[in-house]
Amino acid sequence: MQRLSGVFNRTRRPWIDANGASPDEILDVVRRCPSGALHIDRHDGGQAESIPTENVGVLWADGPIQLTGDLHIIAAGVDVEGETRVTLCRCGQSKHKPFCDNSHKDIHFVAEERPRPDAKPLTERTGRLTVIAEKCGPLQLNGPLELYGSDGSLQYAGNETWLCRCGGSGNKPFCDDTHLRNGFAAD
């Protein structure tokens, strides 16, 4: 955390002091948290976090998939509805699958992106996006989604797709069943 050091200080316990800034300043920082690890529950009558009306994904260069929107995440031991932002592992090495824990940095994960000239923006972008982390398999995404590469190019737009989370697909970000051959294990 580089913003609001009076609120967020990892060397202090507890590491968050909500009295270190105004609720609106804290909300502004929390909204910028791409992983969804931070949320705010306001008790002052001020504006709460809102659920985005459109589901958007961004492929971080050689890193996770960042999703924002009206998200429902389902995985082993995880069933979270109403999530608004999340970063999901696509290198296959996270110790907190399906979530990213930055293992991609340790293993020097490389995910080349290809131009997808056939991808066209959605005409209807609203609705819930359900993400199902299949056991020892891909991320199944159901619901409206526009997925962009790290260069801003549209990689996918549609209502159902399977994304690689084993790190081995030859057609990243999409699953090509490499997980069946490379020993990928995830509940």
Query: What type of residue sits at position 164?
Result: C
Q: Is the overall model pTM greater than 0.85, yes or no? A: yes
Helix ranges (H only) for 41-134 are 103-106
- For residue 173, is the peptide bond before it cis, meaning its omega torsion is within 30 degrees of 0? yes
Identify the pLDDT of residue 2: 67
The pLDDT value recorded for residue 113 is 86
pLDDT tens track for 24-74: 888 888 887 778 888 788 888 888 788 899 999 999 999 999 999 999 999
Domain boundaries, the chain: 1-46, 56-180
The whole-number average pLDDT for the span 169-178 is 97
* Contact call for residues 85 and 143 (beta carbons, < 8 A): no
Q: What is the pLDDT of residue 1?
A: 56
The model's pLDDT over 131-156, given as tens digits with 9 standing for 90+, comes to 999 999 999 999 999 999 999 999 99
Cβ 146 vs Cβ 121: under 8 Å: yes
Q: Is the pLDDT of residue 171 over 80?
A: yes
Asked if 84 and 72 touch (Cβ cutoff 8 Å), the reply is no
- Count other C-beta atoms under 10 Å from residue 69's C-beta: 24
Residues 6+ apart with CB under 8 A from 184: 92, 136, 137, 165, 166, 167, 168, 178
What's the chain's Rg over C-alpha atoms?
A: 17
CA distance to 13, 52, 102, 125, per residue, from 130 (Å): 35, 14, 23, 14
174-185 pLDDT, tens digit per residue, is: 999 999 999 999
Q: What percent of the chain has pLDDT over 90?
A: 68
Query: DSSP code of 8?
Result: B
Task: Tell me the mean pLDDT in the region 164-168.
Answer: 98
Q: What is the mean pLDDT of residues 7-36?
A: 85
Read off the pLDDT of each residue in 153-179 and give the average, rounded to a whole number: 97
